[in-house]
Structures are given as C-alpha cells and as structure tokens.
Amino acid sequence: MGSTKFPVFPSLFSVVSSGLSIVCRNPTKRMRVNPDTCLKKQLMNAYKLIAYLFICGVPLLLAISCRKDAPSLDEPRPVFGDPVTKPQGQPVGDAVSTVIDARGGTLWFHGAVRLEIPPGAVEQPTAFGIQPITNTLDEASPYPAFRLTPEGTHFKKPIQVSFLYEPETGGHPQTRMVAFQNDKGIWCGVSTALDETQRQLTVETTHFSDWVWFDLLSLRKDRESVGAGGTVSLKLLQQVLGELVPANHIDSVSLGAMEDIGYWGAEITVSNWKIVKGPGKLEPQVNQHGKFGYALYTAPATLSEATDVEIQVEVESKHGYISDRTAPNGRRRLGKLVLLTKIRLEPDHYFFLEVDGVRQDLSMGASGAIMGGQITVGGANEAGVIVTLSCRGSSSGTYPGGIDAGESFILLSVPSGGTLRPFHNVYVVCPDTHYSGVAEVSVTGDFIEGTFTGMVYYSDQACGYSSSKSVKCTFKIKQHSFIEDYGTYKKAIHVGLCAPDTGPDAVVA
C-alpha cells in the first residue's frame, strides 16, 4: 500500500518525541486501523498539540516555539478571535537611509528605532531604510509604525530591530511587544526581548516589512483633559489573538481586534480602580464581559487652576506570558500589573508662566482677542509680572518667533528695582537680528488656547543682550477685549509697548 506524504516540521515532531506522545487508538473498540488514517490522525493531533502549546493558558501568549516548560493541562485553553486585515500605513515625515555592505553596520531613526545588521547578513552593498508610517494596527495609538527596507529580501543572518520608548510612555512595559504586517495585511506578534532599564524592545528577523510595538493590555481614555464638572470615560482593552498562522511561521501569531478586557473570561481579573493623585470622583463600571473594565471620572464642580489627576487600576493575568528570550525560561510572566493614566484638569480661563522653571499664575489678569488679523493674549499678577504674546495671524497654527506674518512676538515685563524690566524673544548681534521660541495656538469657538516656549532677552545696549530667561506660557482664554481697568496690566502695556525708554531706568507712570 502506498504511503501518503505530509509536510514535516522538525519543531512539531520534537514536541512529540519529548514525551508528549500521541497514540492512534480507539479506546472503546478493538479494530484494525488503516495505517494512512492513523498517520493522518497522528499528524492532525500533533498540529493541535502545537497550537495548544503555542498559546495554551496564555490569553496574551504570542510567539511560542517548542519550549521545555510546556503549560500544565489545568491552565485554560486559549480563546481566539478573528485575524484582522488592515491597510498599509502611509508615510508620515522623512525617512532615513544608508548603504551597508557585507561588513555590517547600524542605522538609527531619531532615537526611536535601531537596525543592527551583522556581518554577512548581505553580500552586496544594500540600501537600508526606516520610514515612519501611520499605525494601522492601533489607529488610536500616538506612536507611529515603521516601514523597514529593503522589503522582499531574505537576509542571510538575523537582523536585530530595536524600538525605544520614552519614560513617560503610558501603559506597562511588561505587556509590551513587537509585531510586523504580513503580505495579507495581517499584523503578527513576535517574540520580543524587553530591556526596561534601556526602555527598549528588540526582535530578530530575516525579512523586512512594516513593524510596530504595542501594548497587549492598555488603559484608554476618551479625553486627555477636562474642565470643571466634566467627565472622562476610561476603559481597559486587550489585544485579541487571531487564528494560529501556518506552521512554517510558528514563531508568530496573527492579531485580531482590540477588545474590552474580559474576552478570555476568568483568566483576567480587574480590581482597585482609584485616584492616586488629584481631586475628583471615580466610578468603576462593569463592561460587556462582566469585568470592571470601565470607569467614569468626574472633575470637581469648580477649578481654580490647572492640575493633573493620576488614576490607576490593577489587572492580574494568572497564566499570561510573552515569549521573551531574555526572561526566565523564555517567558515574561504578566502576573499583577498596575496601569496608570493622567487626566489634565483645566479651568476655562487660565494663564500660567514658567520663568527658568519657576511657575507663576497670571490668570487674574489674563485676557485675549483676535483683532486686525492678529491673535493677542496676555496675563498679569499682583506682583507686577506681565506677559503679552502676539501672533501675526488669526487662525490655529504654529507661529515661530518673529515680527512678520505667521510669526510670534512676546514681551515679558519683570519688576526690578522699582521698575519693570522688559524681556523680548529677540536680540541683535550686529548687524543681524535673532528671534527665539515658538507659539502653538488653537482657536476653538470663543476660546484661544496654546503655549509659547522659548528664550527672552533683556538688552541695554545696541548689540547683544545683558541677560536672558527661559519662558513657557500655557493659556486658555475666552476671547474679549483686553481688561482696561486692571491697573497692573495697563502699566505693562504702557511701559512695554508705548514708552520710548524701556531700559533699566524706565519709570512706570
């Protein structure tokens, strides 16, 4: 009798030979079994076993090759969603590239992505590139994906791809890993090495495509900031696995959609929603899976100043782990995690000034208007500190320092020896004039909101400057005419903008 041929995958049979044997038998009847049928059943069961070992007991398990510490049979079986096909990302910003030959080399993208090409990975000089693109795995993520080139090339040695994240990045590093997009548009998670000290995620690959890092568990909010009495909805999301990819890609698994936490049932527990910093009220709520995966934050009825509220929630995965060659036994256990997020509380009217890192509240004397094709905002306090920012335009946008259309000019007046000493974002190095800083302004309805960041200079000489200060202004002001009866502010306008003598001996009228 001729034998039926099946594809052979050594990693599959290594599991069978390691003691987890599969036997073709009928437990209730003695009967002759067709050898071909037996072999088919053996291989089918072996495939199922590999799939089980690949993600068994690990609702978040990705990228498992055959490992010695196989999950115990009392761990829950995985729950799959459907793999999701996503469009390719679109380029955002400029790419970086270099030519690397058989000697190997390194390519960086602005401290965010690093390629390490070992000697012998390519035989001929090859153009390598990193292009930032829109993140189609998670459209709500603030972080881009990256297109690595050359695509379609199989490298003779694995290339290390490292993604670096900032210290203020939200989420929890233990849930962080890397995925690539295959030629069918499906994102696939891969084994990821985490270095929390260096804030770095590293993978090895012999092919290039579109790549991104992501969090398997994330705490999301529908708003970054809120005013007095406003609400913010929070929810816990989890990355669902798609179907197991073919066995010749056994080091990756396709990804489904982001779902409300609890998709895997009892494997995940959620507890201890609370405000750890700041005012307001937090109400945990049950999601569609019966977990406390939602929460509603309500800001205080009145706000005197802008402040940050920090919220935490605890999530525990009993069996979850991520394949990580640097972790014990190659498994980065999830366990109990504390997820944090911040909400900015903003009054409807404020003007804050930081001078050399020292923060002052100028909200009492704050005002703003759009007149004559120019946005003007300002603030003052009882100590006599006054700021006036003028942007030569009438719409939202970015205004670099200067006095021409589309630029911004700032005046900071600081009390000094009984007078107001003026600082501007301009100085002269004869014969050239130099401007500093940039304003980001948003005009929404009746409100003018934004920031100015830069250096300001005081000069009592024709060329150069005598002293300088670092300033940052943060403001949100309802449009109206400048306050005419605010004494300090009137003095600021008079001295800073009208007085012919703005030197150190200028007298405030």
Q: What is the domain extent for residue 37?
A: 10-55
pLDDT digits (tens, 9 = 90+) for 144-164: 899 999 999 999 999 999 999
Q: Does residue 81 lie within any of the structural domains?
A: no
CA gyration radius, the chain? 31
Residue 380: count other Cβ atoms within 10 Å of its Cβ.
28
The arithmetic mean of pLDDT across residues 430-447, rounded, is: 92
- B/e letters for 347-356, b = 16+ CB within 10 Å, e = fewer, are eebbbbbebe
Same domain, 103 and 195: yes
Provide CB contacts within 8 A for 228, sequence distance 6+: 299, 300, 301, 302, 303, 347, 348
Same domain, 368 and 294: no
With 0.85 as the threshold, say if the pTM is over it: no
Q: Does residue 508 lie within any of the structural domains?
A: no
Same domain, 201 and 336: yes
SS3 content of the chain, % helix, strand, coil (to 5): 10, 45, 45
Same domain, 271 and 371: no
Task: Give 484's pLDDT tier (boundaries 50, 70, 90).
Answer: very low
Distance CA 453, CA 443 (A): 18
pLDDT at 53: 38
Amino acid, res. 176: R
Same domain, 392 and 472: yes
Same domain, 288 and 410: no
Same domain, 323 and 355: no
**CATH code for position 330:** 2.60.220.30
pLDDT digits (tens, 9 = 90+) for 314-328: 999 888 888 899 999
Same domain, 217 and 164: yes
Q: Does residue 3 lie within any of the structural domains?
A: no
**Domain count of the chain?**
3
Same domain, 48 and 150: no
Same domain, 294 and 354: no
